[in-house]
Amino acid sequence: MNLHDSRSARLLADLEDLSRAVGVSGAEDEVRRRIVDKLRGFVPADQIETDTMGNVIVTRPPRAGGDDGTVVMLAAHMDEVGLMISFIESDGTLRFKKVGGIDDRLLPGKAVRIGPKGVPGVIGVKPIHLQGEDERGRVEEASQLFIDIGADSREQAERVVRVGDRAVFEAQWCTMGADGVCGKALDDRVGCTALLELLRGDYPVTVVGVFTVQEEVGLRGARVAAYRVAPSLAIVLEGTVCADLPGREPHEEATRLGDGAVLSVMDRSSIAHPELVRVLSGLAERHGIPYQWRRTAMGGNDAGEIHTARGGVPSASVSVPCRYIHGPVALARLRDLEAVVRLVETFLQELPETGLLQRLHEERRCEDEPWSRR
């Protein structure tokens, strides 16, 4: 990887920018704004729309002469896990609820930013000096914790914070090692970054890129987006679990940082379309694009809703392994992000030659399709 290469430099800059943006499920505004700003630099305005839930839908027509009606949907979710202010105590401290899956062990003592104005706060914790024997080593449940914004009273707190405001971990960004990137919300700003890059391309099929909302609370944006787009097939771009850590058994690591793009066979939300996955792994082999299998069946992503939309959509996921996701900082490697972009780009360019579309269209029928006769 060469950071002077324009793609690498762009991926790095976009990822940093999007990682720093705040977008807890249902309040993805800042992420959406930054994505749309970037898109406007290379996509005509009439190809960008935002639906009622806030999904950004970018329709890229095929290059001249190639249109056979095939629509490939690429999806990456804009939202991140976070907190929501649920009550303001009389002493000015804030109670909160978790939005999406966050490990309670990661909360105490962390700096957070609250609401659209980014009010600083810290998740309060009793100093270790004052903890009794029984308190040490125990994990306080999120419902027992509070955020301290330095206010002395409810009235003071209410001037800057409202119930319903989202909070996120304070953004910290750095690069480390040869191509390591460290920041919050890499799940799924790595996918958003890859999708932005892919939408710059010129392909033989229609590509609809969807930046979805509310994935972390149940794949909600993807459901309406897939219905609207009605794609021929779909690829979800994700930041996925990685536990290649000391003390873990090899069969428990799920993915390995630096080993390339991650192909899924099955998770809790979907079973990837076998033929589509075969085409993806075949292309990776042929073009020497590093890839690895996702070696767990846990987790879920937007493919869960997309693959059962309308009459069914063959779907697969291509992911970037990220250590420590759903925490204050995750760690990923640019080479994996680049592998994801290269693999999906290659797929889109070579899709007509793979024979996949013909096989899907045939549907192994006896006669013509009754639903097309309606």
Partner 1 sequence: MEQEMSLEGRIARLSEMVGPSGHEEAVREEIRRQVAPFVDDLFEDSLGNLYAVRRPRGAGSGLKVMLAAHMDEVGIIVTHVDDQGFLRFAPVGGLSASVLVGQQVVFANGTVGVIGTEPLDDLKDLKMERLFVDIGARNREDALQRVQIGDMAVYRRAASVVGRRMVGKALDDRVGCAVVVEALARLGDSSPHEVYGVFTVQEEVGARGARPAAYRVAPDVGIAVDVTASADTPKARPLPMALGKGAAIKVKDNSVISHPVLRRLLVERARQRGIPFQMEVLDRGGTDAGPIHTSREGVPSAVVSIPTRYLHTPGEVIDLDDARAAVDLLVAVLQDEIRL
Task: Report, in Å, the least distance between residue 360 CB and partner 1.
Answer: 5
Distance CA 41, CA 37 (A): 7
Retrieve residue 226's tokens.
């897939």
- Read off the tokens for 77: 């979710």
371, two tokens: 């639903």
* One-letter identity of residue 169: F
**Minimum CB–partner distance for residue 318 and partner 1 (Å):** 15
Residues 315-344 that bind partner 1 (CB under 8 A): none
Q: Which is nearer to partner 1, 87 or 227 (CB)?
A: 227
In this structure, are residues 274 and 339 in contact, taking their beta carbons and an 8 Å threshold? Answer: no
Whether the Cβ atoms of residue 220 and residue 299 lie closer than 8 Å to each other: no
> How far is the C-alpha of 101 from the C-alpha of 286, rounded, in Å?
38
Q: Are 301 and 309 in contact (CB under 8 A)?
A: no
Q: What is the DSSP letter of 285?
A: H
Contact indicator for 227, 212 with CB cutoff of 8 Å: no
Active site residue 215: yes
Among 16, 28, 80, 215, the active-site one is 215
Closest CB to partner 1 among residues 65, 370: 370
| CB of 299 vs partner 1, minimal distance in Å | 11
Binders in 216-255 for partner 1, by CB under 8 A:
250-252
* 124 secondary structure, DSSP code: -
Please identify which residue in 68, 101, 297, 355 interacts with partner 1, judged by CB under 8 A. 297
31-39, 51-59, 76-84, 363-371 -> range binding partner 1 (CB under 8 A): 363-371
DSSP output for 14-66: HHHHHHHS--BTTB-HHHHHHHHHHHHTTS-GGGEEE-TT--EEEEEPPPTT-
Options 295, 349, 352, 354; binder of partner 1; rule CB under 8 A: 295
Contacts (Cβ under 8 Å, ≥6 apart) of 223: 305, 309
Residues 350, 201 contacting (CB under 8 angstroms): no
Site for partner 1 in 254-293 (CB under 8 A): 265-266, 270-271, 273-274, 277, 293
* Residue 296 sits in the site that holds partner 1 (CB under 8 A): yes
| Minimal distance, residue 374 CB to partner 1, in Å | 9
Total of chain residues touching partner 1, rule CB under 8 A: 32
User: Is there binding between residue 360 and partner 1 (CB under 8 A)?
Assistant: yes
**Is the CB of 185 or the CB of 303 nearer to partner 1?**
303
Select 152 or 362, whichever has its Cβ closest to partner 1: 362
The nearest distance, CB 84 to partner 1, in angstroms, is 27
Min dist. Cβ of residue 201 to partner 1 (A): 25
Give the binding range for partner 1 (CB under 8 A) out of 56-64, 104-112, 163-171, 309-317: 309-317
Report the distance separating Cα 80 and Cα 215, nearest Å.
Answer: 8
In angstroms, the CA 25 to CA 19 distance is: 15
Phi, psi of 11 (to 5 degrees): -60, -45
Task: Using the structure block, give the residue that is written with the tokens 């879920």.
Answer: 300
Residue 358 interacts with partner 1 (CB under 8 A): yes or no? no
Is the Cβ of residue 183 or residue 260 nearer to partner 1 in the bound state?
Answer: 260
Member of 105, 129, 136, 364 binding partner 1 (CB under 8 A) = 364
315 Cβ neighbours under 8 A, 6+ residues apart: 233, 234, 235, 236, 270, 272, 273, 276, 303, 306, 307
Segment lying near partner 1 (by CB under 8 A), choices 11-19, 43-51, 106-114, 360-368: 360-368
Interface residue list for partner 1 (CB under 8 A): 250-252, 265-266, 270-271, 273-274, 277, 293, 295-298, 307-314, 360, 363-367, 369-371
- For the annotated catalytic residues, the residue numbers are 215
